[in-house]
Amino acid sequence: MVFVPWGQRNDLSYASLAPIRDAAWAGLLADALAMVAVGTGLAVVVGGLVRGRGRAWATAGGALTSVGAVVFALGASAFASLVWHATDPAVLSPDQGTALLAHAEANPGHGLLLHMVGFLTFTVGTLLLAVALLRAGTAPRWLPAAVVVLTVLLFAFPGRPQDLAQAAQMLVFAAIGVVYLRSEDRA
């Protein structure tokens, strides 16, 4: 059994979220905090590994990854709060909660858009960081190549393959951190 805060990925319906409202809230907040930790950590690590050639790529990628992670977290936190309140039957009837969540999903500009733009910005940033590592040659080439391949897989195959690509990508990010920790040039 694999832990997923709710059934289908990106199923934002009342029927899916109401029975697990506390877990959905906690899962979204944990996801938000993890994204900030990964985004800023990866930016710092790659910035430490890339000091010469590829530095401009690392700077741009680090900025996008960090800002994207924070924007993602803002959107995820806002949506977590909305879901928790909209699915409280003491506040809204199931029909009202269903209508509110459907409205939020149909009109993403004031909530979900932050989440989506943050994820996209983070993703572009990680690709720029991969280019920086390739240019600098300070990490085994398979690591930044894996970031690129896994990013493509993340968008190409929805469902369980997407979950597996995301998990593998986090392992690659951790491996880049290990390279940094083992580097002799660390300040």
Q: How confident is the model at residue 161 (pLDDT cuts 50, 70, 90)?
A: confident
Per-residue buried b or exposed e for 22-31, using 16+ beta carbons within 10 Å of the residue's own CB: eebbebbbeb
- Is the pTM above the cut of 0.75? yes
Query: In this predicted structure, what is the pLDDT of residue 159?
Result: 79
Query: In this predicted structure, what is the pLDDT of residue 34?
Result: 95
Q: What is the mean pLDDT of the segment spanning 4-17?
A: 71
Which has the closest alpha carbon to 76: 50, 42, 129, 39?
39
Contact 68, 119 (CB under 8 A): yes
Spatial separation of the C-alpha atoms in residues 28 and 24, rounded to whole Å: 6
Residue 38 scores a pLDDT above 70? yes
Token output for 152:
């493509």
Q: What is the full DSSP assignment across 58-98?
A: HHHHHHHHHHHHHHHHHHHHHHHHHHHHHT-TTTS-HHHHH
Angle between helices 112-136 and 21-49 (to 10 degrees): 30
Give the pLDDT confidence of 108-128 residue by residue, as tens digits: 888 789 989 999 999 999 999
Spatial separation of the C-alpha atoms in residues 39 and 156, rounded to whole Å: 22
Residue 187 scores a pLDDT above 60? no
What is the CB neighbour count within 10 angstroms for residue 33?
14
What is the CB neighbour count within 10 angstroms for residue 103?
10
Spatial separation of the C-alpha atoms in residues 122 and 128, rounded to whole Å: 10
